[in-house]
Amino acid sequence: MANDPVRMPGQSLGDAVTFDLAQVSDWSLILDDRGHGFCSVRALLPRMDEDRRAGAMAFLFEDPMPAGW
């Protein structure tokens, strides 16, 4: 957990959490201050204004999947 969750009793900051693949609808992973995943953000890129899109593109890795996945 990257924070103290509000609606997951018994879980707290730093706990490992697992999910079934069917439960995952979007995910994100930040490595070296850049983002993998963020599929919902990627889907919204065409709707963003130029400045916001440029900022998102600078943050996102070109490949949504980390190397080796």
Q: What confidence score (pLDDT) does residue 52 get?
A: 97
Q: What is the pLDDT of residues 16-49, one digit of tens each?
A: 988 887 887 889 999 999 999 999 999 999 999 9
Q: What confidence score (pLDDT) does residue 20 get?
A: 84
Q: What confidence score (pLDDT) does residue 66 get?
A: 92
Burial class (CB in 10 A: 0-12, 13-18, 19+), 42: middle
User: What is the percentage of the chain residues whose pLDDT exceeds 70?
Assistant: 100
The whole-model pTM stands at 0.65
User: What is the percentage of the chain residues whose pLDDT exceeds 90?
Assistant: 67
From CA 49, how far away is CA 18, in angstroms rounded?
36
